Structure 1
């Protein structure tokens, strides 16, 4: 398994958290630092940017306790960010799933050749094409690829498995509309990362064509919230906590077990899964969701690349106008996609 970790500036030994899973996570982080490719330490400028961003996040989410309130807070926060530029956009109906197909506004871009199916995050209950259009547009340009951004059904109006069904429908729509599976990447962040992985697992179970690779950014892989970082990083992650995960789980799964592999990919059989890129911030409560899935996938023979970004908050990739590291991580995502597309972009 390829692991890349962006080292902290002073390379201090991390504190040893109590409990089995935090200890394992710490050991894995140290192993990654020893074996991975150094991309560079988090700068003082980056730390200041993150601090400012967290303040902005807290301002928007103050008093937002219900799912509906958090949906509104996320929407209004993302409305403060710019939209994508130098992008062509087409609204599409992907067999009943609303979606937006975007591609770089370049003279000879080959529409219909390569595509990233992007499943937005937002705790299964918020997020939209608008909230993730900047990231999707950035990936389209950097990977010289089409991007299909899906508007899947949200809870509490629609519970599990509506979200996964919509993403799977969109994936199969791409196959039915001329995209070859070896030129499709499935990607998502947070809850969207969960949906992206589960979509591909369902395609595997159906013995249908699999995408070239999968990209999951801070995915929720364990809806039982058993990872040690749920506790050890609770004070470091103001954007998401164990209580929020448990609230999402109850509404999303209702009576279904949170350890059902059809909902929590950490418990799934990963043998035969496509190459996988995982990104996560070192202080996220979802750190162990990423590291444990990476380890399980590696043991199943999956080609896994894991990036642990020091100091980055949940969903940092959405905010390139505020965080320089958002651009850097998006470039890594694009490079990974290009590596696994069967038809590479022309130089």
Structure 2
């Protein structure tokens, strides 16, 4: 049964969803996400360090128990058009604590000002910087939510294509893996999803892709050759229109020989882990267990 806290958040999201339109101004959407995220501040014992990786702004988020040489490269969501260190600092702090890793959140370039492949180029650049800084690939976790989940896969595919050593693990939260919006949950979950709407979700991708085919494997990774990717954890809400994006990704990853831990969370919505609700904390704890089992600490 859903917690009382989650029911209150769901009600809030449904009210906001009712006012959504496909043509919402991008700057208004960006400001709205920034304002909403400020409602969940990080704990006082979390260290936050601003940095810059070449020309890319970024932020280290470090819990007291974080291991120095273990890094979680986290790629924030936001439909490739919004999101920042600010919007994902709370989640990053929780992930640092649960995984005992230093979390690095880069502010990759956003569309429409910087369309495909700018975000991928930035994510790859940050990963290579970590390696050049002395962090071993075996000590790196890569992950992200929504568009950040899709970007995580695109980054891994790009690195694989260059025969580069891949991170140890991937963590995907409600990953956006089909920008064509062909999953059946786009229709079957439309009424129960308290946050996302099919029309708005299908209207956004071309801001990022422009004239590129939406089935391009670096845009919609469900069409990619996923063989050789690291073990991954995939979480998705049962009540979200992107449920099929995760389910089909998991099926194709397993068919390609990738080890996948997959969980569908009852009564939950898109990237519920970003909210200060009991279910969000439980999911973060399970991410920590997944990582700690791999590193055996």
Would you say same fold, with TM above 0.5?
Answer: yes
User: Size of the alignment, in residue pairs?
Assistant: 294
| Structure 2 gap segments, 5+ residues each | none
Per-residue CA deviations over 1:82-137 (Å, capped at 9, x if unaligned) read 2243122222222221111122235xx542x1010001111111111011111111
**Which has the greater radius of gyration?**
1
Q: Is the 8 A contact 1:84 1:138 kept in 2?
A: no
Q: Is the 8 A contact 1:84 1:133 kept in 2?
A: no
* Cα RMSD, aligned residues only: 1.6
Using the TM superposition, give the Cα deviation of residue 59 of structure 1 relative to its aligned residue in structure 2, in angstroms: 4.8
Residue matched to 2:290:
336
Of the candidates 39, 46, 49, which is equivalent to residue 80 of structure 1? 39
Using the TM superposition, give the Cα deviation of residue 337 of structure 1 relative to its aligned residue in structure 2, in angstroms: 1.8
Residue matched to 1:313:
269
Find the aligned partners of 1:58 and 1:297 in 2 and give their Cα distance. 33
After TM superposition, list the pairs within 5 Å mapping 1:153-302 onto structure 2: 153-302=109-258
Using the TM superposition, give the Cα deviation of residue 194 of structure 1 relative to its aligned residue in structure 2, in angstroms: 0.6
After TM superposition, list the pairs within 5 Å mapping 1:106-117 onto structure 2: 110-111=67-68, 113-117=69-73
Distance 1:91 1:134, change over 3 A: same
Q: Is the 8 A contact 2:20 2:200 kept in 1?
A: no
Find the aligned partners of 2:195 and 2:124 in 1 and give their Cα distance. 28
Find the aligned partners of 1:142 and 1:315 in 2 and give their Cα distance. 17
Residue matched to 1:5:
none
Per-residue CA deviations over 1:236-255 (Å, capped at 9, x if unaligned) read 11311221222211111110
Residue matched to 1:38:
none
Find the aligned partners of 2:44 and 2:79 in 1 and give their Cα distance. 27
Per-residue CA deviations over 1:64-96 (Å, capped at 9, x if unaligned) read 623322222211111122224312222222222
Using the TM superposition, give the Cα deviation of residue 58 of structure 1 relative to its aligned residue in structure 2, in angstroms: 4.3
Per-residue CA deviations over 1:173-207 (Å, capped at 9, x if unaligned) read 11111110001000100011011111011000000
Q: Is the 8 A contact 1:60 1:76 kept in 2?
A: no
Find the aligned partners of 1:209 and 1:52 in 2 and give their Cα distance. 44
Residue matched to 2:53:
94
Q: Is the 8 A contact 1:123 1:190 kept in 2?
A: yes
170-179 or 332-341: bigger deviation: 332-341
| Structure 1 gap segments, 5+ residues each | 1-42
Find the aligned partners of 2:236 and 2:138 in 1 and give their Cα distance. 26
Distance 1:269 1:225, change over 3 A: same
Find the aligned partners of 2:177 and 2:43 in 1 and give their Cα distance. 29
Per-residue CA deviations over 1:277-320 (Å, capped at 9, x if unaligned) read 10000111110000000000000000011010001011210112
Find the aligned partners of 2:128 and 2:152 in 1 and give their Cα distance. 13
Residue matched to 1:130:
86
Of the candidates 120, 129, 139, which is equivalent to residue 76 of structure 2? 120
